[in-house]
Amino acid sequence: MTAGIRVGVLGARGRMGQEVVNAVNGADDMDLVAELDAGDDLSALKQAQVVVDFTHPDAVMDNLEFLTANGIHAVVGTTGFSGERLEKLRSWLAADPSLGVLIAPNFALGAVLAMRFAQQAARFYNSAEVIELHHNRKADAPSGTAAHTARLIGEARAEAGLSPGEDATTSEVDGARGALVDDVRVHSVRLPGLVAHEEILFGGEGETLTIRHDSLHRTSFMPGVLLGVRSVLTRPGLTVGLENILDL
């Protein structure tokens, strides 16, 4: 029998981490070698070839510094990646050209497709807004997925030479029109009972287009996470977005 990919999980007691532990245990080609959570000694990860991180935006950079310094590939779902953070990560990776890190704002196939469809639609509409809806235990707003979607829309608009659509609002209660990400309004809803949901709305002459994705259970993220673990071993450098691995 061939040995499986040795996988470690960071954030293993969290909502996503527990699902990852189950998914890795259920994968014939993987062996779970470490399950760590807040406060645990990272040295147990040295047995792993790939570590999956679903922790917290405040913790993920320290984790990645340790992983890259110890030659361990990483698959990261944790949110909070600014351009500055990505640059720092690239500089750590430069020291070991064989090492791969995959960061994906969303590992659910439908969410990746929804972002791609929104990117394609954006050049046809000046007006677009994003509504993301999540469970009320989520730490960050807007969601990483919604921020990424807004950036993709902003870039596509700029490439097409479009400016943001007309908005006659002159008086508003603070926050009523959402947050601006790359000139796209993003609205965040937090409610118990929800998991992870996103609507991207476009408005044009006498019509609207709505693209919606719903993650109804955290198992929706697992095929993408396992694909990431299998792929990162042969993808040196930094990859941002599962769309690159799905070849979309």
Ligand X SMILES: O=C(O)C1=N[C@H](C(=O)O)C[C@H](O)C1
Ligand Y SMILES: NC(=O)C1=CN([C@@H]2O[C@H](COP(=O)(O)OP(=O)(O)OC[C@H]3O[C@@H](n4cnc5c(N)ncnc54)[C@H](OP(=O)(O)O)[C@@H]3O)[C@@H](O)[C@H]2O)C=CC1
Annotated binding site: 11-16, 37, 77-79, 104-107, 135, 144-145
* Closer by beta carbon to ligand X, 144 or else 241: 144
C-beta of 100 vs 105, nearer to ligand Y = 105
Tokens 């791969």 sit on residue: 100
Confirm if 198 and 132 have CB atoms less than 8 A apart: yes
Report the distance separating Cα 192 and Cα 167, nearest Å: 32
Number of residues that bind ligand X (CB under 6 A): 9
**25 near 34, Cβ under 8 Å?**
no
Containing H/E element for 76? strand 73-76
Q: Are 240 and 103 in contact (CB under 8 A)?
A: yes
Is residue 88 flagged as an active site residue? no
- The H helix count followed by the E strand count for the chain is 7, 11
Q: Which does 10 bind (CB under 5 to 8 A by kind): ligand X, ligand Y, none?
A: ligand Y
Exactly one of 11, 17, 100, 144 binds ligand X (CB under 6 A); that residue is 144
134 flagged as catalytic:
yes
Integer Cα distance of 204 and 175 in angstroms: 24
User: Given candidates 100, 105, 154, 228, which one binds ligand Y under the rule CB under 6 A?
Assistant: 105
- Contact set with ligand X (CB under 6 A): 79, 105-106, 134, 138, 143-145, 196
The catalytic residue positions are 134, 138
Residues interacting with ligand Y, by CB under 6 A? 10-11, 13-17, 36-38, 54-57, 59, 77-79, 104-107, 144, 221
